[in-house]
Amino acid sequence: MSNTAHQPTDRAARLRALPSVDRVLAQAPLADALDRLPRADVTDAVRQAIEDARTALIADRDAPIDAAELARLAAGSLTTLLRPSLRAVINATGVVIHTNLGRAPVSEAAELAMSRAASGYSNLEYELDAGSRGSRSDHLESLLHAVSGAEAGIAVNNNAAALYFALNAHGAAHAPVNEVIVSRGQAVEIGGGFRIPDVLRQSGARLVEVGATNRTRARDYANAVSERTAAILRVHSSNFRMVGFTEEPSVAELRQVADEAGVLLIDDVGSGCLLDTRQFGLSYEPRPQDSVAAGADLVLFSGDKLLGGPQAGLIVGTRESIDPLRRHPLMRALRLDKAAIAGLAATLHHYVGGEAVEEVPIWRMIAAEAEDLHARAGSWRNALGAGELEPGESPIGGGSLPGETRPTCVWSLAHPHPSEAARQLRLNDPPIVARVERDRLVLDPRTVLSGQDADVIDALRAVIGVAS
């Protein structure tokens, strides 16, 4: 019970009445914090609460002097430490591969595999049959062969690392034979401010740009080959599209140039798309298996974009080109951990089993038809008794299929303060990320996972003031 009624009114008396740190620490509101956080962190919060009260009293402002109330204030300030910063959110933006929201959600099988691998011991680097040391690469290599047709394959922690690694091992390690030929139109920025020329320089390779920004031909590469050339690098423009008067050689054409010059051909296809996107009404996205079939020595791609698994950079190709990477010192620095390997293996199994569209969340989202999404958005409207259904477009996003969208049906609501409504949704538990367009609050069901509809409806009720 608060002793507010008996608090002294004189400022000096109130300052003397401020409780000690130990007395505040002994109060019930801090019991949970003391169980879950280092005592030093809780003590610092208590000292700050007392100091804030002292400062206010000196300035003749009202401030609590009750130990329990100060404990509640200190506990409140510790909320961010008690609650994880990284939280699960509901993506109602319609952007399928949302970079800011963690890109691709993994399948239930991948989630379970990652949890099992992380929560106990595993045969990560142990041969169960022989009872001896094994290699973590073995858990993925046969699967990478099955989905890409490549002789060999390894995984590192993202595709930028895969590019850096491949260039360092095959381009920079043999100076002065360290020139890498790239089309001017492919010397792109790959996200986060990182650019292909910068990656090449840091890897130790020397960039040789050929062709024009919009048109590069096979003979441009051939004319640039010298005794210092280590590799030809092809980079898919996965986060932008160049239209109009454009031209670039195919992998097969570059294979001929590389064969004549006796140099390596590296193809960075970016998104890790293993399915034919044309079946969903989208433009063709380069597939790793197509590059392997066309003759690239090394093919690089992401594991967490259109592949739909955990973050990874995958490198497949000829055994002769992959083996130097296995032995390279950077392999240990860039390798995947056990949880990522488990999740990636489970994801690749979906492709091997021909069930990716049904089991990999991003492909379920991409495959969803507008009429099905209309029914889901309609169920939200019916439950809320508010909002309208409107046709819309869901971007694929995430540096994949630039400019490509799928038709959708969104739930929208004219709101006097739509940005504040969107903010309130973000502060919900779980947070919900929506869009604001034309002074309307807009939610796209395409990227709301199955089982999350009830959370969306409950949060919207609270934000827009609809009774349940």
What is the separation of C-alpha 348 from the centre of its chain, rounded to a whole number of angstroms? Answer: 18
Q: Are residues 70 and 190 in the same domain?
A: no
| Same-domain check for residues 174 and 117 | yes
Q: Is the pLDDT of residue 177 over 90?
A: no
Answer yes or no: is 94 within a domain: yes
Residue 378 pLDDT > 60:
yes
155 within some domain: yes
Cα 50 to Cα 74: distance, rounded to the nearest angstrom: 9
Based on the fold, state whether residues 385 and 303 are members of the same structural domain.
no
Domain end (from 338, 358, 378): 358
Whether the predicted pLDDT of 380 surpasses 80 = yes
H/E segment holding residue 351: helix 338-352
Q: Are residues 371 and 344 in the same domain?
A: no
Q: What's the CA gap between 258 and 11, in Å, rounded?
A: 85
Q: What is the DSSP letter of 278?
A: G
Q: Is residue 1 part of a domain?
A: no
Let me know if residue 103 belongs to a domain.
Answer: no
Residues 201 and 307 in one domain: yes
Residue 32 lies in a domain: yes
pLDDT band of 197, cuts 50, 70, 90: confident
200/27 Cα distance (integer angstroms): 59
pLDDT at residue 132, rounded to an integer: 95
Is 159 part of a structural domain of the chain? yes
Between 189 and 225, residue with greater pLDDT: 225
Q: Do the beta carbons of residue 336 and residue 157 sit within 8 Å?
A: yes
Tell me: pLDDT of 3 over 50.
no
Number of domains within the chain: 3
pLDDT tens digits, 25-80:
999 999 999 998 899 999 999 999 999 999 999 988 889 999 999 999 999 899 87
Alpha-carbon distance of 108 to 367, in angstroms, equals 18
Range of the domain at 371: 90-98+363-464
Single out the residue in 358, 373, 393 at which a domain terminates: 358
Q: Are strands 432-433 and 405-414 parallel, antiparallel or unpaired?
A: unpaired
The first and second tokens of residue 95, run together, are: 């952007």
At residue 1, the pLDDT reads 42
> Is residue 247 pLDDT above 80, yes or no?
yes
- What does the DSSP assignment read for 387-427? -EEEEEEEE--TTSSTT-EEEEEEEEEE-SSHHHHHHHHHT
Task: Give the span between the Cα atoms of 402 and 185, in whole angstroms.
Answer: 16
Query: Which of 341, 358, 375 delimits the end of a domain?
Result: 358
Mean pLDDT value of segment 402-422: 94
pLDDT given for residue 2 in this prediction: 45
Q: Is residue 285 part of a domain?
A: yes
Separation CA 45–CA 93 (nearest Å): 37
Nearest alpha carbon to residue 239 among 361, 396, 389, 110: 396
Residue closest to 150 by CA, chosen among 359, 362, 348: 348
pLDDT, averaged across the chain: 91
Residue 5 has pLDDT above 50, yes or no: no
* CATH code, domain carrying 347: 3.40.640.10
Tokens for 387, please give them.
């909002």
User: Does 391 lie in the same domain as 309?
Assistant: no
> Does residue 392 register a pLDDT over 60?
yes
Same domain, 35 and 128: no
Amino acid occupying residue 403: G
Task: Looking at the structure, tell me whether residues 263 and 136 fall in a common domain.
Answer: yes
Indicate whether 196 and 241 sit together in one domain.
yes
The pTM of the full predicted model, rounded to 2 decimals, is 0.85
**415 shares its domain with 319:** no
Q: Which two tokens stand for residue 455?
A: 């959370």
Q: Give the highest mean pLDDT range of 157-161, 163-167, 353-357.
A: 353-357
In a domain, residue 2? The reply is: no
The answer for residues whose C-beta is within 8 angstroms of residue 211's C-beta and 6 or more apart is 183, 184, 185, 217, 220
Q: Which segments of 29-187 does DSSP mark as H helices, in order?
A: 31-36, 39-58, 67-77, 79-82, 108-119, 138-148, 159-167
State how far the Cα of 354 lies from the Cα of 317, in Å rounded to an integer.
22
**279, pLDDT greater than 90:** yes
Average pLDDT over residues 244-268: 91
**Confidence check: pLDDT of 278 > 60:** yes
Q: Give me 212's structure tokens.
A: 């024009």
The beta-carbon contacts of 147-150 under 8 Å, at least 24 apart in sequence, are: 147/274, 147/288, 147/289, 147/348, 147/351, 147/352, 148/288, 148/289, 148/292, 148/299, 148/316, 149/289, 149/292, 149/293, 150/288, 150/292, 150/299, 150/316, 150/317, 150/318
Q: Are residues 227 and 156 located together in one domain of the fold?
A: yes
What confidence tier does 207 reach under pLDDT thresholds 50, 70, 90? confident
* 30 and 135 inside one domain: no
| Residues 267-272, mean pLDDT to the nearest whole number | 92
At 114, list the tokens.
């990652």
